[in-house]
Structure 1
Amino acid sequence: MEMRRALSLVLGLMLLFSGLMNAELVAGTGLTIDFSQDKWAYLRESIDSGGTWLNTKDGQYWYFRPQTGNAPVWSFGYDSTKGAMKLWEGYGGSTGHARGVVAVLNQSIVVSTNFTVTFQIFGSGANRAYVVGVLIFRKDGTVVGLRYATQGSNLEPGARDGTTYYAPVAGADTEYRFYVMNKTAIEAGFTNVTVNPLADLASKGVVLNPSDIAYIRVYFGLVLYDVNAQIWLKSITVKEETGKVVFSLKDALTGQSLTGVTVKEGNTTLGVIDDGGTLQLTKGTHTLTFEKSGYWSVTKTIDVQGDMSVSVEMYPSSAAFQFLNFPSDIQVYENSIYELTFTLSPISTQATYNTYLSLSGLSDVLEVRKDGQTISPESGKYYLGDISSPAQISIKFRAGSVGTHGFTITLTSNDAIMSKTYTTTKQVTYQVEPLPFSVQMPSEWQVGTNELRISESSGQSYLITAVLKDSQGNEVWSDSYAFSPYEAYTFQVNVPAEGSYTLELQWNGQTAVFDIQVNPAITLKTKQLTVEKGGEGVITLHFKNPSSSVQYYTIKVSGGFLPKEINQSISVAPLTEKDVSIAFAVPSELTYDAYELNVTVLQGDAVVFSDKVAVIISDSGGFNLPIAGGDNSWLIYAIAGLIVIAILAALARR
C-alpha cells in the first residue's frame, strides 16, 4: 500500500504542476502527512490576512474559511522550530466579538471503507477554543461537515452555540458538532486527537455508506474572544478500517508450505510473505494475485470485513491441471466403498492434450468416471483424452483396514504438437475408521444357512440391510433389520451354492463390502484308481462340517461294472471333518480296461455333491518282468536257487 500511496502522490504532484489546485491521496491502511518530512514540504504554504480582518482566502494547498460571523486577523505558515504548520489568530484590537477561521488542506483523500482521522495538534492562548474537522464530499455533490472542538471560556456550547459563534464551515451543506477535545492536554504538548466520522454520524442518527463518499478533506483552526491565540498541526493520519489476513500458502500437489510468495493488488505489490504470513488489508473486496517462481500465478478475490484466514494453493509450472473441489479431509469406514469426486480444471488448455490418469498405491479400484462416463483401464491407465474445460472425475474404491492410508493420482498430458509432456501429481491421504457396528461371521461359510451376527456399537439407531451377491453381481439373498443403540441381531444368510460371493452391509448411505468364499463341504480324494480283475477297489471322500449341528449324508456309487448301486449313510459331527471310504468288488470277467463310476452325495433328497471316478483295470497285481514269451516261472525258480547258493557260500567263508 505504501507503493500505491507513493504512486498516487507522484500523480498528484504532476497534476498540481499542471495547474490543478488539489491532488488525490489514498487513505488505505494508513496515510500520514507529517509536515516535518521533506516529501510533504510542498504543503508548507505561507499565507495571511494581510493585517486586516479576513476569513476567506484561497491558497494553492490550503484555503481558509470562517467559523464565526466576525473575521480575525490571521497568519499561516510552517514553524520549523516545532516541525508543524502554525495558524495564528488575533482579534485586531476590536473587542466584544468571537472570531474564528479554519485552514482546510486542499488535498482530496480517497477512502473506501470506514475510517479514522488522527490530528496531532498543540495550542496556546487565552479565552479560545481549538477545532479540527472533516469535510465529506459525497458522490451526489453534497458536503457533510464534522467539527470537533474544545470547550473554552465564553465559547462553550449552550446559549452561544448555533448563533454567530460556530457557524458552519463554509462549503458544508450540513454540519455536526462534537465537543470532545481536551484543551488542557492540547496546551500541555502535541496531542493526538482521533475521530471516527462515520461512527460519529451514526451516533447522531445519520447513516452514511462509504460507497457514497467521493473523497474527504481535513481542517484545523481556532475560535477566540478578545485575545490572540495559535494552534499547530504537526501531522494528519487517515486510516481505513482494516483486517489482519493470515495466508495459508501451500503447494497444491504436495501440501508443502511455500515461502517467498509475492502478493499483488493490481500493479501494486502488497508484500512478499511465507506460509502463515499476514497482511493488513482495508475492509472491502480485494482481488489479489499470488506469484512465485516455478509456479503458476493464482488470482483470488476476498472480502475483508475483519480478521480472517485465506487458503491459497499454487501449482508447479510443470503441472497442467488444477484439482478443484477436492475434499480436504477424507474419512471412510473400513471395508466400505468410497467415491472420490473432484473437478479437473486446465491451468492452460495448451498443455492438456492426450491426457492419461493413473493411480498408484490404490489396489481395490472399482471404477473411474469422467463426466459420468465409465473409463476402462488401458495397461493400468485411464485415457481421459483432450481436456479443454473443467471435467468432473470420480474414483470409486474400497477402503481397507483401519488406519491412515494414501495413494497418488498422476496426470500426464501433452501440448498440441506432442513436443512437451506435463505431469500433475496429487498425493491423497485418507483415514479409515472402524465400522459403527461389530460383525461376527462364520469361521467358514458353507452352502445352506449361515449365521451373521451384527452388534450396534456407536449408540445410534439405524437400519442395516444385508445383501449377498454372487460373482456376477446378482443378488441371491437379502434381509434388513432396524437396530436400536447397542442392540445385536443375527441374520440367517442362505448360501445357495459353493463359489465366490460379496456380502454388502448398507446403512445411512454407506456400504461396507466383504468377500466371501464358500468352499466345498465334500471333496473326492480318489479321482482315479487301479484295480485287479476279481479284486477290490476303494473310493475315498472327504467331508467337512463347519456348522454347529450334525450333518447327515447318503453316498451313492453307481455305473461302470457295478451290478447295482452302492448306498452308504454317514454323519459328520459339528465342527469336524473326516474321510469316508466306499469299497466295491471288481468282477473277474470284464470287457474293457477302464471304467467310470458315478459318485453322488445326498443330504436328505437334495444332491449336494456329484463327481466321477476313473477305474483302471489291471490283469494282476504281482511283479512282472518285461520279458516276452510264455511262462516265466522257471526264471523265478532260478533266481531263488541263486539266492540259496549265495547264502551257503557266505556261511562257508566263516
Structure 2
Amino acid sequence: MLLLLLLSGFVLCFVNAESNSWTAWLGTAGFDVPANVNIGFENANHTKIKVDVQTTSKKFAFALYLKQDDMKYIRFVLTQDIFGDLYMDNNHWDGGKPLGVTWYSGAHWVQFDIHDGVADVYIDGKTDKVKTITLNGMTSVKTVVLKKEAGADSSWYSATYLKKIDVEQTIPEYSLHIYTEPKANIYIDNNLAGTTDNGGYAKVLVEKGEHQLKITKEDFWDYSTELQIENDTTLHIDLAPKTSLFRVEKNVTSDLYPNSIGEVKLTLYPIRTAYGTQMQISGVDVVKVYYKNSYLAESNGAYVLGTVDSPVDVEIQFKTPATWGEHSFAVTITATDIEGNQYTNQEQITYEVKELPFLLQTPSQWKIGDNTVTITDQSGEDYSVLLTLKDINGTEVWSQSQGFDAYDSHDFVVPINQSGDYVLEILAKGGQVKTYVPVHVVEPIKLLTPEVNASKGSVATIKIEIQNPTSEVKYYNAEVLGEIFDVNNTPKQAFSIAPGETKIVELKFKVPENITYDNYELTVEVFEKGEAEPIFQNDVILNIKESSFIPIGGDSSIPLWLIAIVGVLLVVGAVFVMRRK
C-alpha cells in the first residue's frame, strides 16, 4: 500500500475558556499506524491552542468538544481527504457539508474564535471568516477535548486511538495596582502578597478569577473586599484610622468650572454601629446636602445623620470659587459606639476647578434695563452657549442661545425689568461646561415724595434719593412731565453724584396759576447723561391746596425759614398787645 505523507495543523482560539487542561487524541481512518502530534499554546494568555499533526494515513479526522456542566456539548468535526468538510452538531450529526475547502498535501489549519455564544470559523489564516456557527446558548467553555471521531465512512468507527496528550494551562496573571497608606500589608486570599512603599503604592500579580483582598496597617482598621480579576486593575483605598468610626469613599464631580455648583458623594462605611452621628462642613459655601437621597437641613451648624449601621451615601452640593486650580474643604464626622466612646473622622475633600473655555465679560453694575454680557471663545473649538436668567425662586425670566465658531465673540443683551437678586446660568458644550453669575440689581433711585401739596403759583418740590455704587462719578438729567406744563418747557435739572455716595435731589417747579383741577398726576424721569432711555420713572400726585399764610398739613411750598420768622413776629406781637393791656 502506498503511504502518502500528509502534514496538517490547526489553531483553536477560545474566549472565556475556564478549564485548566486540554486532552488531544488523534485517530486515523482504519489504520493503526504511528503518528506524531505537537501541541502547544499560541499566545501568552493561553486562549489559543495550535495542533500540528503528521500522519502516514491518507485519511484522518478531528472532533472538537466544548462541554458544559450539564454534559451537553457542541461538536466540531474536521475530516480531511481530498476535500475538507466541517460539521457541527449538538449531540448528533447534522449530515451537511457547510464548508467545501480543497485541501492539498502540506500544512493547513482551522481557527475557531468563540465569543458571545457563536464560533467564527477561519481557514488557513484568511482574515474573512467562512462561517459563523451558533452555539445554542452556550456562552463559556468548561472542557475542551480533541479526540478520534467517526466520519461519513462507517469503517472509521473501528479506528483506534494513536496518541493522547495532556496540556496543563497556566492561568493568566494580571497586575493589581494598589494606592493606600504607606507601609500597609497586602493580603491576597490570606497570603501576604506585598507591602506598600513610602508613597502608599504596591503592585502585586494576581491570577485571573475571584480573590479575597485584605489590607492591614497598625493603628488603622483592617480593610477587606472581594475582587474579580479579569485584567490589570487599579484600586485607590482610604484606610480608616482607629480614631474614626467610618471608612469614607469620596467621589467628586470631575468637570468643575469657576462660579459653578460642584458635588461630592461620600459613602460612609461604619466599622461598627455609629450612634449620634453628626457632620460639619467648613471651608466652602454649601448649597444643599442630601442624606439617603433626601434633603437634609443644617441644624445648629451641623447635619444630623443619627444612627448609622450600614453603608450610606451623603451628597454635598457646593459653590466653586471664581478662580481655577486645586481647592479643598473639610468634612468632620463625629459619632459614638455602643460603649459611648467618641470617634472623629477628619476628611479633606480636594477638587479641581478647570479654566473656562471662553472669556466672560459682565457688567460691573447690573441695572434695570438692558445689560450686555460678552463671551469670547479661547479654546479654538466650535460649540454652542446657552444663557438663562433666573429669579430668586429659580423661575426662568430670559434665555438666549448662540453657536460659536473657534475664537468667535458674541454680545448677549440681558433685559432686567425690576430690581432684585437673579442668577445668570451659562451652559456650553452640551452642558459639560457650567458657570453661574450672581446678579444683584439695586433700585438706584427712590422716590421720597409720592405726593406733593402746593397752591397755585407756588413752588413745589419733588425729592428723590439716588445711589452711586460704582467707582466713577455718575452724571444724570432729571425731568418732570405732566399736563400742567408746556411740552417745550418742562422742569429739568442736571446733577452728579460721587462714587459710593447717596444723595437727595430736590426737583423744584412752579405750579401754574391757570390750572383747573385739584389733583394732577406728574411723572418723574431720570436719565444717565447722554442716554435716551430713562433709568428711572415714577408717578407723583400733585394736590392743589387753597392759598393760606401758614399751610396746615401736606407739603408746603413756602420755605421753613419764612414760616419761622412769621411765627416769631406773631409771638412778639402777642406779647406786646398783652403788655398794653
Shorter-normalised TM range: 0.5 to 0.7
Aligned match of 1:493: 414
Pair 1:311–1:372, CA change in 2 (3 A) = closer
Q: Within the alignment, does 1:356 sit opposite 2:304 as a pair?
A: no
Give the stretch that moved more between structures: 534-543 or 396-405: 534-543
Q: Distance in 2 between matches of 1:498 and 1:283?
A: 67
What is the deviation of 1:273? Answer: 4.1
Q: Within the alignment, does 1:336 sit opposite 2:260 as a pair?
A: yes
Please give the residue correspondences for 1:433-444 in structure 2 after superposition, counting only pairs within 5 Å: 433-444=354-365
The residue type equivalent to 1:516 in the other structure is V
The residue type equivalent to 1:461 in the other structure is D
Q: Is the 8 A contact 1:555 1:602 kept in 2?
A: yes
2:563 to 596, 620, 623: 620
Pair 1:212–1:491, CA change in 2 (3 A) = same
Q: Is the 8 A contact 1:455 1:487 kept in 2?
A: yes
Give the 3-state SS of the residue equivalent to 1:394 in structure 2.
strand
Pair 1:330–1:408, CA change in 2 (3 A) = farther
Pair 1:306–1:341, CA change in 2 (3 A) = closer
Aligned match of 2:524: 601
Aligned match of 2:214: 289
Deviations 1:476-498 (A, max 9, x none): 22222222322222222111112
What is the deviation of 1:500? Answer: 2.1
The residue type equivalent to 2:341 in the other structure is K
Q: Distance in 1 between matches of 2:416 and 2:186?
A: 65
Aligned match of 2:90: none
Pair 1:610–1:471, CA change in 2 (3 A) = farther
Give the 3-state SS of the residue equivalent to 1:386 in structure 2.
strand
Aligned match of 2:244: 319
Aligned match of 2:440: 517
Give the 3-state SS of the residue equivalent to 1:379 in structure 2.
coil
Pair 1:583–1:243, CA change in 2 (3 A) = closer
Pair 1:611–1:330, CA change in 2 (3 A) = farther
Aligned match of 2:178: 247
Task: Please report the TM-score for the alignment, with normalisation by the length of structure 2.
Answer: 0.54
Aligned match of 1:367: 288
Give the 3-state SS of the residue equivalent to 2:443 in structure 1.
coil
Q: Distance in 1 between matches of 2:362 and 2:331?
A: 35
Q: Distance in 1 between matches of 2:461 and 2:390?
A: 39
What is the deviation of 1:398? Answer: 2.0
Q: Is the 8 A contact 2:190 2:212 kept in 1?
A: no
Q: Is the 8 A contact 2:268 2:311 kept in 1?
A: yes
Pair 1:527–1:552, CA change in 2 (3 A) = closer
Task: Please report the TM-score for the alignment, with normalisation by the length of structure 1.
Answer: 0.49
Pair 1:421–1:599, CA change in 2 (3 A) = farther
Q: Within the alignment, does 1:262 sit opposite 2:185 as a pair?
A: yes
Deviations 1:630-650 (A, max 9, x none): 66799xxxxxxxxxxxxxxxx
Aligned match of 2:165: none
Please give the residue correspondences for 1:119-138 in structure 2 after superposition, counting only pairs within 5 Å: none
Q: Distance in 2 between matches of 1:456 and 1:398?
A: 24
Give the stretch that moved more between structures: 604-613 or 467-476: 604-613
Alignment root-mean-square deviation, CA: 5.7
Please give the residue correspondences for 1:226-625 in structure 2 after superposition, counting only pairs within 5 Å: 245-250=176-181, 258-259=182-183, 261-274=184-197, 275-276=199-200, 278=202, 281=205, 283-285=207-209, 286-302=211-227, 309-324=234-249, 326-327=251-252, 330-348=254-272, 350-351=273-274, 353-363=275-285, 365-403=286-324, 404-416=326-338, 419-507=340-428, 508-509=430-431, 510-524=433-447, 538-541=461-464, 554-555=479-480, 568-570=490-492, 581-583=506-508, 600-602=523-525, 608-609=537-538, 615=555, 618=560, 620-622=563-565
The residue type equivalent to 2:348 in the other structure is Q
What is the deviation of 1:296? Answer: 1.2
Pair 1:492–1:298, CA change in 2 (3 A) = same
Unaligned runs of 5+ in 2: 1-18, 26-32, 54-63, 67-139, 145-169, 513-518, 527-532, 543-553
Give the 3-state SS of the residue equivalent to 1:620 in structure 2.
helix
Q: Is the 8 A contact 1:597 1:615 kept in 2?
A: no
Q: Distance in 2 between matches of 1:277 and 1:452?
A: 49
The residue type equivalent to 1:379 in the other structure is N
What is the deviation of 1:448? Answer: 1.8
What is the deviation of 1:176? Answer: 6.9
Q: Is the 8 A contact 2:464 2:506 kept in 1?
A: yes
Q: Distance in 2 between matches of 1:502 and 1:473?
A: 8
Unaligned runs of 5+ in 1: 1-136, 145-160, 164-173, 179-195, 214-238, 251-257, 588-595, 635-654
Pair 1:269–1:580, CA change in 2 (3 A) = closer
Pair 1:554–1:138, CA change in 2 (3 A) = closer
Q: Distance in 2 between matches of 1:305 and 1:337?
A: 37
Give the 3-state SS of the residue equivalent to 1:314 in structure 2.
coil
The residue type equivalent to 1:609 in the other structure is N
The residue type equivalent to 1:370 in the other structure is Y
Aligned residues: percent identity? 25
Pair 1:429–1:597, CA change in 2 (3 A) = farther
Aligned length: 401
Deviations 1:555-604 (A, max 9, x none): 2699xxx999xx945487999999864235799xxxxxxxx999842489
Would you tell me which structure has more helix in proportion to its own residues?
Answer: 1
CA radius of gyration, larger in: 1
Deviations 1:221-259 (A, max 9, x none): xxxxxxxxxxxxxxxxxx997666553223xxxxxxx22
Deviations 1:337-387 (A, max 9, x none): 223234333332x22x33222210012x22111232111111222222323
Pair 1:139–1:431, CA change in 2 (3 A) = closer
Q: Distance in 2 between matches of 1:438 and 1:575?
A: 32
The residue type equivalent to 2:216 in the other structure is E
Pair 1:276–1:475, CA change in 2 (3 A) = closer
Pair 1:472–1:283, CA change in 2 (3 A) = closer
